[in-house]
Structure 1
């Protein structure tokens, strides 16, 4: 029997309070087969990446968004930092949640 389960990779940009919750939520979704986490602050990044066992942890949002395994991007940065990462994801045809 063929499975209808579609899998996708997700990049969570921003590992603060909301980003942390979103990364943990992604880890609970069986269709998420790849998880990238990004934050400019090493301490937050390392903490979240370790707790969700992220496939990749990076300080550079472009690295996470441009990853061919990522099909959806969750923007969890401060509001003033939403635009650049969002536009990058949209231009690459990725699904985006802000």
Structure 2
């Protein structure tokens, strides 16, 4: 991750933690797609907020934990959909070898 600008590291790390097997696609999209990068930034921020929720007063802790947890899962689904779409598009551009 040393070649990744500091501003993108949290976003990249968040996506890679969720989808390590899709690292190449994640790196391509982080570098080229602002919408994807924004989703990953939001995921990193939501995960950070979720990790701090236990510091909140008890009467709102459970509510915030559920809210942040739901947001993390929704963002993860959106990121996965974008990754799958990118892979589908990439596969559709592969020209099969000619039969012999």
* TM above 0.5: no
* Larger proportion of strand: 1
Shorter-chain TM-score range: under 0.3
TM-score normalised per structure 2: 0.27
> Which of the pair has more CA radius of gyration?
2
